[in-house]
A and B are shown apart, each in its own frame.
Chain A
Amino acid sequence: MTLLYTEVEEELRASVRDLLADRCGSDAVLKRIESDTPYDMELWKTLAREIGVAGLLVPEEYGGAGASAREAAVVLEELGRAVAPVPFLTSAVLATKALLEVGEEDLIQELASGETTAALVVPLAASPYRPPRETVTVGEDGTLSGEVRGVAGADVADVLLVPVDSALYQVEAEHARIEVVPSLDLTRPVATVTFSGAPGEVLGHFERREVLAFGAGLLASEQLGVAEWCLDTTLAYIKERHQFARPIGSFQAIKHRMADLWLDVVRARAAARNAADLLAAPSAPAPDHLAPSGTSGAAGADAELAAAVAGSWCSEVALHVAEESVQLHGGIGMTWEHPVHLYLKRAKASEIALGTPGAHREAVAELADLPAPA
């Protein structure tokens, strides 16, 4: 294991970063969020086709890159840095992981190519550690009915993966009503998904805790990217901005805050890398099947603990750095034209996504043997 980035990972990062610099600058993102198409599906197709990011977690025999959580994490760092409005987390991580756990083989090939996009129909705020609120039921005729609120990535999905009880159903998106609601996070809006007797096909058992904890552990890398952008951008600003005939970055009141933020981000990087590394370990499936990858046992518990640690730390750090970034930008930080608000909104929404920091710490209590009072 290593907490550093490998050469291959750095190459992957460079290609994603180049493409995003070209196609996903902050002006473009600011324009897009108020358009009819908040997601940039052209960019997504390019990321999938040219760099192959959609199939990173998918084994090669199913048309994927046969890479691991480590590489997916590097892509998430870059997407976080750019608050890129693409469905990587929702389709290439959450939906793909759910299909890998089920052992599905056909749909996963379509997802890996980027031709098809999927979404897991759970609230983005779902915690890996709590039982779901069951709001969808299966009728006697086998069709699905019910409503799920706060789903990310559903509005750009071709296929919906719907957990009902502990089974995972596949529903074509055209059979559901998907209404995007005005969302706190402008670059990852959420939708209400409604089924009224929608035909669905059962795929297998939904490994809820494994899938959502895997997502939370990788979301930490996206949060790291958000924090890095905020830190870098603020640093550049306070070196340029003069008040009292000095750069404001020369005042200790500001320097000390920046030093603390930097230290938080340094530790976020280590936590996110550790989670990605441990989540990568058990996900290499045997070549002849796509069976559940067994996040049980000692290795699985280590990975789950690493994901919970990264989930709680990186959530709070991303939010704190974004909030400080708004403050240290002063008046300009409060304007719509400066992109820092996009990062604040992403950070605040991500704090709630896939388990709040407090929910992750409750998991740490269990996994690190620090029991609550009786």
Chain B
Amino acid sequence: MTGEDVASLAREFLAAHDPGDRLEFLRARFDAGLAWVHFPEGLGGLGAPRELQQVVERELAGTPQLDTGVQGIGLGMAAPTILAFGTEEQKKRFLRPLWTGEEIWCQLFSEPGAGSDLATLATRAVRDGDEWVVDGQKVWTSGAHHARWAILVARTDPDVPKHRGMTYFVCDMHAPGVEVRPLRQITGEAEFNEVFLTGVRLGDDLRLGEIGDGWRVAQMTLMNERVAIGGAPVRRGGGMVGVVAETWRSRPELRTHDLHQRLLRLWVESEVTRLAGARLREQLSVGQPGPEGSGMKLSFASLNQELSGLEVELRGEEGLEYDDWSFRRSDSVDFFGRGTGYRYLRAKGNSIEGGTSEILRNIVAERVLGLPSEPRVDKDVPWKDLPR
């Protein structure tokens, strides 16, 4: 299938459907295979090369769009995992409302005792006939309060070493025993939640992948998460550096020589990072997947932190103020919104969420550079015997 084929499909679709009714339009777009063209036919795609998606986006610019802030976890993490590991029934059931935004997704991975060492997680799922009974606590769950479904990793066998005893589920967020509590963050607001699971019963048809294979399934989700956080295309001078540069340009009275030198360094670093991201996407689109992806999130985190910190300093007296500390829920994740102080504080999460920068450096060192891992004391020990 060529770009021209896809473009004419998109044009025919647009001619036949009224973009006025947002939901109906999105549903029809999914059914026409124009949701994500690299997905299979019947599941919102055409089985076409991934890079042809941009042709569709170009043709359908100005029509109703997805809310990527709220749908981010569904689109970026749940969908590729369901596509890779789901049964035909699960794919048919979940992907369409996930894409149209009728059903929002969240991620039940991290726990108070399992952050970087996710594989040590303690939420239990115990088999009971055709069902699983889930008990445990999850944390740092963005959007749990909007979510209809969650991707969940739970321990199903405590008697084997930690990586082998996990299973991956789709969790019904409306099931009895699911309790979502807002978790106030250093920004003052609650973008994240704690989720308590108490005797939650999930049918075995909500299991994704084999029993005991949860770690492998979760890897698919995590790889996609890192690309989602660090890999979004930006234009030259866009993103966080654009926000700071705009302040710099419009407020000449705030400029100092020291800040100028630092801003120029960060502008150059932002630009080379942007170019590395563009190069990575080029490699992906011609089927040369490069290892650069693992590094993009590392750069993204440190740049956001340094740039937002520089802007607080640049604003001087105004930098002493903060827009709003009130404890409220935010509708979606926004790294670049609100005031300078908010951006500075929110950016602190960028080197923690989706894999800390320390863990990402280990991943680069071991998987890209082939360096040996640190000696592991927990590798062959049954999970139940690990010290905690």
Interface residues of A (CB under 8 A from B): 2-4, 235, 238-239, 246-247, 249-252, 254-256, 258-260, 262-263, 266-271, 273-274, 309, 312-313, 358, 361-362, 364-365, 368-374
Contacts of A266 in B (CB 8 A): 276, 292, 295
Report the Cα distance A358→B275, complex, angstroms. 21
8 Å CB contact of A371 from B252, B278, B292: B252
Question: Judging by beta carbons under 8 Å apart, are A256 and B260 in contact?
Answer: no
Report the Cα distance A249→B368, complex, angstroms. 13
Question: Judging by beta carbons under 8 Å apart, are A4 and B275 in contact?
Answer: no
Interface residues of B in 329-385 (CB under 8 A from A): 358, 360-362, 364-366, 368-375
Report the Cα distance A368→B266, complex, angstroms. 13
Contacts of B365 in A (CB 8 A): 249, 255-256, 258-259
Question: Judging by beta carbons under 8 Å apart, are A368 and B295 in contact?
Answer: no
Question: Judging by beta carbons under 8 Å apart, are B279 and A258 in contact?
Answer: no
Contacts of B271 in A (CB 8 A): 271, 309
Give the distance to chain A from B387, nearest Cβ to Cβ, in Å: 21
Interface residues of B in 254-278 (CB under 8 A from A): 255-257, 260-261, 263-265, 267-269, 271-273, 275-276, 278
Q: A263-B298, A361-B265 are in contact. Are A372 and B255 (CB under 8 A)?
A: yes
Question: Judging by beta carbons under 8 Å apart, are A373 and B255 in contact?
Answer: yes
Q: Is B196 interfacial (CB-CB < 8 Å)?
A: no
Give the distance to chain A from B246, nearest Cβ to Cβ, in Å: 11
Contacts of B273 in A (CB 8 A): 267
Interface residues of B (CB under 8 A from A): 237, 245, 248-249, 252, 255-257, 260-261, 263-265, 267-269, 271-273, 275-276, 278-279, 282-283, 286, 288, 292, 295, 298-299, 358, 360-362, 364-366, 368-375
> Which residue on A lies nearest to B295, using beta carbons?
A263
> Which residue on B lies nearest to A369, using beta carbons?
B249
Q: A249-B371, A258-B371 are in contact. Are A313 and B272 (CB under 8 A)?
A: yes
Beyond contacts A250-B375, A258-B371: 7 other A-B pairs, Cβ-Cβ < 8 A, are A2-B282, A255-B361, A256-B365, A267-B276, A274-B275, A358-B261, A368-B245
> Which residue on B lies nearest to A238, using beta carbons?
B371
Question: Judging by beta carbons under 8 Å apart, are A313 and B358 in contact?
Answer: no
Question: Judging by beta carbons under 8 Å apart, are A370 and B248 in contact?
Answer: yes
Question: Judging by beta carbons under 8 Å apart, are A370 and B245 in contact?
Answer: yes
Q: List 11 A-B contacts (CB under 8 A).
A: A251-B374, A252-B374, A259-B295, A267-B273, A268-B272, A364-B267, A365-B264, A370-B249, A370-B263, A370-B267, A372-B257
- Chain A interface, DSSP helix/strand/loop, else mixed: helix
Contacts of B361 in A (CB 8 A): 252, 255-256, 259-260
Report the Cα distance A374→B369, complex, angstroms. 46
Give the distance to chain B from A224, nearest Cβ to Cβ, in Å: 12
Contacts of B283 in A (CB 8 A): 4
Q: A3-B278, A4-B279, A267-B276 are in contact. Are A370 and B371 (CB under 8 A)?
A: no
> Which residue on A lies nearest to B368, using beta carbons?
A262
Give the distance to chain A from B277, nearest Cβ to Cβ, in Å: 8
Contacts of A365 in B (CB 8 A): 260, 264
Question: Judging by beta carbons under 8 Å apart, are A239 and B282 in contact?
Answer: no
Contacts of B263 in A (CB 8 A): 370
Q: A3-B282, A259-B364, A365-B264 are in contact. Are A270 and B248 (CB under 8 A)?
A: no
Q: A370-B264, A373-B257 are in contact. Are A255 and B295 (CB under 8 A)?
A: no
Question: Judging by beta carbons under 8 Å apart, are A262 and B260 in contact?
Answer: no
Report the Cα distance A254→B369, complex, angstroms. 12
Q: Which 9 A-B pairs have the closest CB atoms?
A: A255-B365, A270-B275, A373-B255, A259-B364, A259-B361, A250-B372, A3-B279, A270-B276, A267-B272
Question: Judging by beta carbons under 8 Å apart, are A370 and B278 in contact?
Answer: no
Give the distance to chain A from B208, nearest Cβ to Cβ, in Å: 31
Question: Judging by beta carbons under 8 Å apart, are B375 and A246 in contact?
Answer: yes
8 Å CB contact of B369 from A4, A259, A312: A259
> Which residue on A lies nearest to B258, using beta carbons?
A373
Report the Cα distance A249→B373, complex, angstroms. 9
Contacts of B249 in A (CB 8 A): 369-371
Report the Cα distance A271→B268, complex, angstroms. 10
Contacts of B368 in A (CB 8 A): 259, 262
Give the distance to chain B from A54, nearest Cβ to Cβ, in Å: 29
Give the distance to chain B from A4, nearest Cβ to Cβ, in Å: 6
Question: Judging by beta carbons under 8 Å apart, are A250 and B374 in contact?
Answer: yes
Contacts of A361 in B (CB 8 A): 261, 264-265, 268
Give the distance to chain A from B274, nearest Cβ to Cβ, in Å: 8
8 Å CB contact of A4 from B257, B265, B282, B375: B282
Question: Judging by beta carbons under 8 Å apart, are B366 and A255 in contact?
Answer: yes
8 Å CB contact of A235 from B256, B360, B369: B369
Report the Cα distance A14→B300, complex, angstroms. 34
Give the distance to chain A from B231, nearest Cβ to Cβ, in Å: 13
Q: Which of B271, B286, B366 has the most CB of A within 10 A?
A: B271
Contacts of A312 in B (CB 8 A): 268
Q: A267-B273, A270-B272 are in contact. Are A262 and B369 (CB under 8 A)?
A: yes
Report the Cα distance A147→B366, complex, angstroms. 54
